[in-house]
Chain A
Amino acid sequence: MIEVKGLVKTYGAKRAVDGITFTVKRGDILGFLGPNGAGKSTTMKMITGFLSPDAGSATIDGVNVVDDPVAVKQKLGYLPESAPAYPEMTVEEFLDFIAEVRGFRTADARQAQVDRAIQLTHLNPVRKQSIETLSKGFKQRVGFAQALLHDPAVLVLDEPTDGLDPNQKNEVRSLIKNMAVEKAVILSTHILEEVDAICNRVIIISQGRVVADETPAQLRARKPGARIDEIFRDLTRGDI
Chain B
Amino acid sequence: MRQISPIFKREFFGYFRSPVAYVFLIIFLFSSVGLAFFAGGFFKGGIATMESYFYFHPWLFLFLVPAAGMRLWSEEKRSGTVELLFTLPITILEAVIGKFLAAWAFLALAILLSFPMALTLAYLGSPDWGVIISGYVGSILMAGGYLGVCSLMSALTKNQVISFVLSVFVCVMLVLLGTSMFNTFMTGFLSLPVGLTDLVANFSFLTHFDAFTKGIIDPKDLIFFVSLTGLTLFLNVVALER
Q: Taking beta carbons and an 8 Å cutoff, which residues of A are in contact with B?
A: 45, 48-52, 69-71, 73-74, 76, 78, 80, 82, 84-89, 97-98, 100-103, 130, 146
Contacts and interface: CB of A to CB of B under 8 A. Distances in A.
B84 A101 contact: no
A50 B83 contact: yes
A82 B79 CA distance: 10
B81 A84 contact: yes
Interface size class of B (residues with CB under 8 A): 20 to 34
Interface centre among A50, A78, A85, A102 (most CB of B within 10 A): A50
Given A84-B80, A101-B7, A146-B84, 8 more contacts: A48-B87, A49-B87, A52-B242, A69-B91, A70-B89, A84-B81, A97-B6, A101-B6
B59 interface: no
28 contacts: A49-B86, A50-B86, A50-B87, A52-B242, A70-B89, A70-B91, A74-B89, A78-B87, A80-B80, A82-B80, A85-B81, A85-B84, A86-B14, A86-B81, A88-B14, A88-B17, A89-B14, A89-B17, A98-B88, A100-B5, A100-B9, A101-B6, A101-B88, A101-B90, A102-B88, A102-B89, A103-B89, A146-B84
Interface of B: 3, 5-7, 9-10, 14, 17-18, 79-81, 83-84, 86-91, 242
B18 A80 contact: no
A29 to B, nearest CB: 20
A80 B85 CA distance: 11
A45 B83 contact: yes
A70 B10 contact: no
A101 B10 CA distance: 10
A76 B6 contact: no
